[in-house]
Structure formats: structure tokens, C-alpha cells
Structure 1
Amino acid sequence: MTGDLSAALRAEALKVRRSRVPWATGAAMVLAGLVSAFFLFVLQDPARARELGLLGAKAQLAGGAADWAGAFSLAAQVVAVGGLIVFGTVALWLFGREFSDRTAKDLLALPVPRRAVVLAKLVLGLAWCLALTVLLLGTVLASGALLELPGWSPSTALQGAGTVLATAALTAGLATTYGLAASVGRGYLPAVGVLFLTVLAAQVVAAVGYGAWFPWAVPALLAGTAGPGHPAPGAAGIAAVVLLAAGCSAATAVWWERADHST
């Protein structure tokens, strides 16, 4: 199995290197980091925020305070909200492209078990999402240094980066949903529909107060998007995300093993 997985990983990595999608997702994360830096720039000067009017008010709501704790909090919110779309794009591209490009039959003709192909895609997707998160953290650190944000300390950095990485891990787990949807739907469009549906549902469920129990809302609540007055999701909410990710991963592997790929 190890040799099969290594071969599948090499094949998947070659596809990623030849694609422009990694560059697009990387640019999206850098742009999100720069927007967060702009919010912090506005918050550094209350008078400047008042001059900008509504934009200043939005920055105050999103960023909280113009310090390092606020910078990491914004980064976690970016990963929880924007990351669900970006990480979801990674998952639906990894699986959906095989059907849109009509390469699924060729892929399954290789002397590699189908479960190894699915596992390789999942592993590569997780590594891809981790790289995007590190890229975002690098953008936050660079912009924070340029803005000379106050409140830096090793404990603040470790706690903030830990929250960002934990949020990213949960969000990447949720992205397995879209890999399953792209597989069952045999292409991008069904997965895109599921992506938009879950993003909308997460907003609605969180707004009515049940976000801590809804897996797609848990990373955003962990990142603090609901504000300091709302508690973070408990172990049950995090366990729901883990179980969902494991279930979708297993279901994807089973579908690739048993589905009729002759059509």
C-alpha cells in the first residue's frame, strides 16, 4: 500500500505542478491577508477610521484592535470564512477535474488501487491547504511588522498561530465534503452547488444560535467571528467536524471503489 500511495502521490503532484489553480488559490490567500492588513491600518488611527466612514466601522467590527492579537484573530477569521471557499476549491478541483477533463478512466486504468488514488488526493489536498495557511501567516507577519503593531510576544504569536492552524485544520476537514460531491456528481458543478449551499447554511444556522452544533459553522466560531461575547464551540462541535471529515473521506473511497466508471 505504501508503494501504491507513493506512486499515486507523484502522479497527483505532477498534475498540481502543471496547473494554475495553486497559483490562483495562493493569490487569493495573499489578497485576503493584505485586506486584513488594510483593516488593521485603518484601526491604528481612529480619526482615519472616522474619515473613511462605513469602511472604518466595518474594519472595527472585523478586526477588533490594531495589535498582534487582532492580526492573528483576523487571520483565523479569514481561514474560517474565506478558507472554506478556497479549501473547497482545492478539493473539488482535485476530484472534479478527473471527470471534467475525462481522465477518470485513464486514472483508474493504472496499476494502483483506487483507494490509493483517493488517499493521495486527500493527503495532497491537506498539504495544499496547510501551505496556503502558512502563506497567509507569512503575509500577516510581514504586514504586521510593516505596520509596527504593538503587543508582540512569543506567547501571543504561538497562541495566535495555533488558533489559525487549528481553524485551518477543521476547515480543510470540511473540504472533504466537496471532494465527495465532485466524485458523486462527476464534475465541478455539483460540488460548487454543495459549496455555496453549505456556506449559506453555516451563516443562517450560526445567526439563529445553533452554529456550535453545525460542522460548517464550527471553524468560524472557533476563530471568533461571532464576537468576544460568544463562547467558542465545545468538544462536541469539533468532534462533529472530525467525524464529518472522516465519513466523507471514507465515503469517497468507497464510491471510487464501487462506482461504475464505464459511463
Structure 2
Amino acid sequence: MNIFSVLHCEFRKIIRANVFWLVFLVFAFGPIMMGVGTISSGNTGDINWQMYLTELLSGLAALGLIGYTFISAWVFGREFTDKTIKDLLAKPVSRSQIVISKLLVILAWDLLLALFMFAVALAAGGVLGVTGWSTVLIGDIFFRFILTSILFIVVTTPGTFLANVSKGYLAPLGLILVIVIFSNVLASMGFAPYFPWTIPSVFQSTGFLNVSSIIILAFTGIAGIVGTFAWWRFAEQQ
């Protein structure tokens, strides 16, 4: 059994799960409500696509962090809560291949969710009558949003590690709620470029990251991935 077979099985498990579709349904409300809030805060005629998307996506990218964390925690944590971990380990495939397959599934799901939220944001803006459409403008904003989403995906890897250690997905969700609170406090104190979970928002607003922020972001992402591989390699599966 090679890694492609494992990857295929992982994709099938995810798509057949009700949670897969429920995530998209739940996160459709975020862009819609934020879009309505953005429009209602001013006159519709005074809000163009640049103003609308800039304000909307700054909050939407951070909202995605919760979704990305849930996805990574659920993909690994469900094996423990559903009691399927022993069946998974009984397959004639290495644990490293299992982890790689799950990480690739998480990445694909996260990017799909990011694309979905951006599409809903565009649809909401069109329905609400936002003016000043420009293909070049939308393309630039979309590119920055996707890069920001990828940065947020990178910092969800510690949650992935925690999902395995705690053998479930509740602990990572609790952690991310605490992180959101700390993020607001640290951002107000000027530490946003140095806290892993606020660094993506810095890029979203400025389009630039300093070297120290990049190093912190990379270290956080790598630490979570290495920790996950190490846990699956050395921890005793009960």
C-alpha cells in the first residue's frame, strides 16, 4: 500500500463526512455577515470594491484561522474520538505516510475553504451593490488574501500536534480561543509582528513581513509538523 492509496483513502473519508460540508455551510455566514456589516457602516455608494474587500478580508482571514485549526484538529483527532486509530495503524503503511497524507488533506481542505470564503465575499458584495469593480484590483487582493490564508495555515500546525497529544480535537479549539484573546491584546501593545498568530494579519494589512516575523512564523510551523511526526513515530498508541 503506497502513499497515494493512503491519500486517496483520506480524501474519501473527509468528503464522505458530514463535517466536511458543515464547515463550508458555517463559514459561509462569516463573509455574508461581515459584508453586510461593512456596507451598513456607511453609504453603499461611498464603498467601492477596494474599501469593501480590504476591510472585509482583514477580519475574514483571522476568522479562517479558527476554521483551519478546527480542520487540522478534526482530521487527526477524529481517529481517536471515533476509535479508528488502531484500524488505521493496522494498515500496511508507515506512520510517516499516514501523517503526510493527513497533512496534504488538511492543506487541500484549508485552501478550498479560503477560496470558498473569498467567493462568498465577492458574491455578497455583488448582491449588496458594491461599485468600482476592477479585475486587476480583485486579483491583487485575492493574491494577498490567499498568501495570508497560507500563513494562517502554517501556524495551525501546533494545534495539529496538540490534537494528537490530547487524542481529540477539543483541546486545540480551546487553545485557539485563548490565542485569539492574546492576539488582540498583543496587537494593541505593538507586538503583532512577533506573535505567530498575529503575523499573518500584519501581512494582510501591509503586504510585507520583516525577517524576524518570517523566522518566527517558519519556526512555529516547522515545530508543529516535527512534533506531529515525532509523536506518531515514538508515542505509544493506545
TM-score (norm 1): 0.83
Cα offset, 1:194, TM superposition: 2.0
Cα offset, 1:216, TM superposition: 0.6
2:219 equivalent to 1:253: no
What is the root-mean-square deviation of aligned Cα atoms in Å?
A: 2.1
Q: What are the Cα deviations for residues 138-165 of structure 1, in whole angstroms up to 9, with x where unaligned?
A: 1122222223322322221121101110
1:67–1:151 Cα contact (<8 Å) kept: yes
CA distance in 1, matches of 2:178, 2:40: 33
2:193–2:213 Cα contact (<8 Å) kept: yes
Cα offset, 1:44, TM superposition: 4.7
CA distance in 1, matches of 2:109, 2:59: 16
Matched residue, 1:240: 216
Query: After alignment, is 94-103 or 77-86 more displaced?
Result: 77-86
CA distance in 2, matches of 1:119, 1:193: 25
1:174–1:244 Cα contact (<8 Å) kept: yes
Q: What are the Cα deviations for residues 73-110 of structure 1, in whole angstroms up to 9, with x where unaligned?
A: 23432343211111110011011111111111111111
Matched residue, 1:28: 26
2:190 equivalent to 1:214: no
Matched residue, 2:142: 161
* Identical-pair percentage: 27
Distance 1:24 1:74, change over 3 A: farther
Query: After alignment, is 152-161 or 193-202 more displaced?
Result: 193-202
Distance 1:6 1:71, change over 3 A: farther
1:215–1:238 Cα contact (<8 Å) kept: no
SS state at 1:216 partner: coil
The one-letter code of the counterpart of 2:223 is G
CA distance in 2, matches of 1:212, 1:238: 9
Q: 1:73 aligns with which of 43, 49, 54?
A: 54
The one-letter code of the counterpart of 2:120 is T
**Stretches of 4+ aligned residues off by more than 6 angstroms:** none
The one-letter code of the counterpart of 1:74 is E
CA distance in 2, matches of 1:93, 1:42: 35
Q: Give 5+ residue unaligned stretches, structure 1.
A: 47-64, 225-229
Query: Paired residues, what number?
Result: 238
TM-score (norm 2): 0.91
Counterparts of residues 85-100 of structure 1 (less than 5 Å): 85-100=66-81
Query: After alignment, is 209-218 or 66-75 more displaced?
Result: 66-75
Cα offset, 1:232, TM superposition: 5.4
2:163–2:171 Cα contact (<8 Å) kept: yes
Q: Give 5+ residue unaligned stretches, structure 2.
A: none
2:105 equivalent to 1:129: no
